[in-house]
Amino acid sequence: MTCGSCDYWQPLWPRADHARELDPGGCRRHAPRNTDEGYAMWPVTSAADWCGDYQRHPTRRLQEPA
């Protein structure tokens, strides 16, 4: 149950509907947050990260690095 297989997570570089452990992505669970630089962005996490808001994506899965 990691970000890479969560319905709220979107990889920065899509890979045919799966993510590798270290791939970065953005959590879309909540609205983007303002940064100190004056723009908004979603939290960036790796596919291997996790949190308590996990919701399984019906087809996405975490794949081991090749």
pLDDT of residue 57: 82
| Predicted TM-score of the model (pTM) | 0.72
The whole-number mean pLDDT for each consecutive block of 10 residues of the chain, a chain of 66 residues, reads 90 70 89 92 92 86 56
Cα distance between residue 66 and residue 57, in whole Å:
22
| C-alpha to C-alpha distance for 24 and 15, rounded to whole angstroms | 12
Q: Which two tokens stand for residue 30?
A: 């909540």
Contacts of 10 (CB under 8 A, 6+ apart): 25, 26, 28, 42
